[in-house]
Amino acid sequence: MSAETSTQTIQAVFLDVDGTYADFGVVPDAHVQAVRAARASGHKVFISTGRPLPMLPESILGAGFDGVIASAGAYVEVAGEVLLDREFPADLAARALAALDAHDAVYLLEAQHALYVKPSAEARLRAHIEAHFAADPDGRTTGAAAILGGVRVLSGTDEAIFAKISVYESPVPMAQLVAEIGGDIDVVGNSIADEGPHAGELFQRGISKADGVAAALSRLGIAQKDSIAFGDGQNDLEMLAYAGLGVAVEGSHPDLLAIADRTALPPHQHGIAAAFAELGLIPR
């Protein structure tokens, strides 16, 4: 990552969703217009999020994008072509579910076709998500519906195939769950409903948004130095470190701010639009 990256040569832009492009699930119109203007100028703009596809409704994707990195790098799509689609191996999935169920944790299994919750946890899951988005009146309906609308209750015949697990409530710290599951699994903070050490997102160790950025750049023949990434959370670390220019939202996780080349205002202050103009991606 180089702070000397020329703003005139940036060709590919990768945007985290929650806390970066959107605020409580609501995308400011200024961000929509900035994305459209950047693409009209010839730049490639991508969503790069921890959310799986079912959590990406038209209210988020409506600006039009050149591709999507979902599930924190487990899934990558460019111009309708799927480049990566990685799911938990069966043995790791079984160990993870066994540990979560042993503690009666509230979790959501995130696949690219649907979101799954166990029957006994459905009401608690909905309460967590609705409470989070109720913190912002504008996001109460749009934000919660984007998640809850795709939730299915697991039946006895459902096969547990998923790319990531979001834990909303655990009686034990996430670090303990990771230790109990063992193997190639890791955790970051939950970007949608932060409950401290008793909530988080479980993912396969070694997979990150940087994988998605690399795959997209390779497919389009764009150099790594000609990329820019925006983010605010722990799962954006590898992406910002990999991109030619890394931009952290003000107030981001300290680790992210430490590696970022520059900062941007938060979404409620139209930070993406302002940064795009400052970087020469769109007219001022």
CA 87 to each of CA 32, 52, 69, 177: distance values in angstroms, whole numbers, following the listed order:
31, 12, 14, 19
CA 248 to each of CA 199, 228, 251: distance values in angstroms, whole numbers, following the listed order:
23, 11, 8
CA 215 to each of CA 79, 84, 151, 208, 228: distance values in angstroms, whole numbers, following the listed order:
13, 8, 29, 11, 14
Which pLDDT does position 65 carry in this prediction?
98
Which pLDDT does position 5 carry in this prediction?
44
CB 218 within 8 A of CB 237: no
At residue 10, φ and ψ (nearest 5 deg) are -65, 120
At residue 121, φ and ψ (nearest 5 deg) are -110, 0
Domain boundaries, given as residue ranges, for the chain: 7-85+208-278, 90-204
Long-range contacts of 268-273 (CB under 8 A, 24+ apart): 268/23, 268/28, 270/28, 270/30, 270/31, 271/20, 272/15, 272/20, 272/21, 272/30, 272/31, 272/34, 272/35, 272/230, 273/28, 273/30, 273/31, 273/33, 273/34
Which pLDDT does position 148 carry in this prediction?
78
Q: Does domain 7-85+208-278 have CATH number 3.40.50.1000?
A: yes
The CATH code that applies to domain 90-204 is 3.30.1240.10
What are the pLDDT tens digits along the chain (284 aa)? 444 444 456 689 999 999 999 998 899 999 999 999 999 999 999 999 999 999 999 999 999 999 999 999 999 999 999 999 999 999 999 999 999 999 999 999 999 999 999 999 999 898 888 887 776 666 556 677 777 777 889 886 567 789 999 999 999 999 999 999 998 999 988 766 665 668 899 999 999 999 999 999 999 999 999 999 999 999 999 999 999 999 999 999 899 999 999 999 999 999 999 999 999 999 88
212-223 CB burial, b ≥16 within 10 A, e <16: bbbbbbeeeebe
